[in-house]
Amino acid sequence: MRVPAPGARYTGLAITLHWLLAFAILGSLGFGWYMTGLPFSPSRLRLYNYHKWAGITILALSALRLSWRLTHRPPALSSAVQASMPGWQLRTYHASHRLMYVLFFAVPLAGWSYSSMAGFPVVWFGVLPLPDFVAVDKEFAKVFKPVHAILAYTLLALVLLHVAAALKHQFVDHDGLLTRMRFGRAPRGTLAR
């Protein structure tokens, strides 16, 4: 594996997966919050199915993203970024990224688990029936139900922290961190990989 040059950018596939997951996760979180407040109806059941489809898609994209990440070293932080980050921020940066990766899998798997326990099958896009992730257990499903929501809200908090940190680097530190994950040509002095 090559050591990336300081100020290098992520690959085009890594950038695409980042933004696809960002929009899918935020959309699914908003959609999930909206649908849980609806009265029981065929429309609500249809929305739950859409939410499940989104969750399985997020799970698949997360697996692809993790596979890519494990085989492609991320670009090194530039000296300007490193200079603007005290040690605790650098540790938080690494820890929050690791936790987000865990939650990319934990949130949809918890939703799939709950759906399986409650006896509601997951049929991806209404075409591909997926096996139950766990055995049907309607009593335990009642206890387990909040786990999916707690994990989802934890992921939302981390996403908001991630966005706040990126905006701080862009508008307070002016260190060019966002250019690593931006579409388009690399600015002079950076390398696209």
Per-residue pLDDT reduced to its tens digit, 14-37: 999 999 999 999 999 999 999 999
What does the pLDDT read at residue 67?
96
What number is the average pLDDT over the span 30-56?
93
Q: Is the pLDDT of residue 73 over 80?
A: yes
Band (102; pLDDT cuts 50, 70, 90)? very high
Q: Which of 62, 65, 67, 70 is nearest to 104 (CA)?
A: 62
3-state secondary structure of 124: strand
Please state the pTM of the whole predicted model: 0.87
3-state secondary structure of 123: strand
Integer Cα distance of 94 and 165 in angstroms: 12
Q: Is the dihedral of CA 102, 5, 171, 184 positive or negative?
A: negative
Domains of the chain (ranges; CATH) run 12-176 (1.20.950)
What number is the average pLDDT over the span 36-65?
94
134-175 pLDDT tens trace: 999 999 999 999 999 999 999 999 999 999 999 998 899 888
